[in-house]
């Protein structure tokens, strides 16, 4: 890791980020996305996070027309890793959220999107890449492994990703 970027990731910068209110990074939030649903192609996801998604190419995209979101990392079905926002910047991934009594999780978290169904399943290669990424992030930013959570945990009732069957034991480093 160098300059708050994961060295093994393909850099595809998003304009959808801003400054964090402090230097604190103490949470990793796991998400799932596919655009349109059930199509596991990284290209529309990258375009969405870059603000360049052609909303006329699929009726599902119309609802996303004015949405501005991003994540720090995206992990494709084959385990490929893309980085869109440096870790020291605030990506716009969590929305209205709360963790451990604190709101505005984007302020102190790193967002990682897995390409796939909103409730999984995810591929072994995705789990392997995510485990490597989480291990490095926990080491680099002193994040406690129990602070690796799903979007569903920080936005209950609003979000369900990455699914109740997501296997956190496969991605949390041993400390």
Catalytic residue chosen out of the listed positions 113, 144, 153, 164: 113
Task: Give the span between the Cα atoms of 26 and 64, in whole angstroms.
Answer: 29
The rounded distance, in Å, linking the Cα atoms of 92 and 138 is 20
CA distances, 7 to each of 2, 52, 164 (Å): 7, 25, 31
Q: Which two tokens stand for residue 168?
A: 């956190």
CA atoms of 82 and 96, how far apart (whole Å)? 25
CA–CA gap between residue 133 and residue 107 (Å, rounded) = 20
The verdict on whether 164 is a catalytic residue reads no
Catalytic residue ranges:
113
């Amino acid at each position: 890791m160098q300059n708050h970027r994961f060295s093994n990731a393909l850099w595809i910068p998003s304009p959808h980020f801003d400054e964090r209110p402090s230097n604190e990074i103490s949470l990793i939030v796991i998400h799932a996305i596919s655009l349109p649903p059930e199509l596991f192609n990284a290209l529309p996801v990258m375009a969405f996070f870059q603000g360049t998604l052609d909303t006329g190419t699929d009726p599902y995209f119309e609802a996303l027309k004015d949405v501005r979101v991003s994540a720090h990392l995206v992990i494709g079905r084959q385990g490929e890793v893309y980085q869109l926002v440096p870790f020291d910047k605030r990506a716009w991934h969590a929305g209205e959220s709360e963790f451990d009594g604190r709101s505005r999780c984007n302020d102190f978290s790193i967002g990682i999107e897995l390409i796939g169904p909103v409730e999984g399943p995810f591929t072994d290669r995705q789990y392997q890449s995510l485990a490597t990424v989480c291990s490095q992030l926990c080491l680099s930013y002193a994040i406690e492994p129990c602070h690796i959570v799903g979007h569903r945990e920080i936005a209950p009732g609003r979000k369900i990703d990455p699914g109740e069957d997501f296997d956190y034991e496969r991605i949390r480093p041993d400390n």
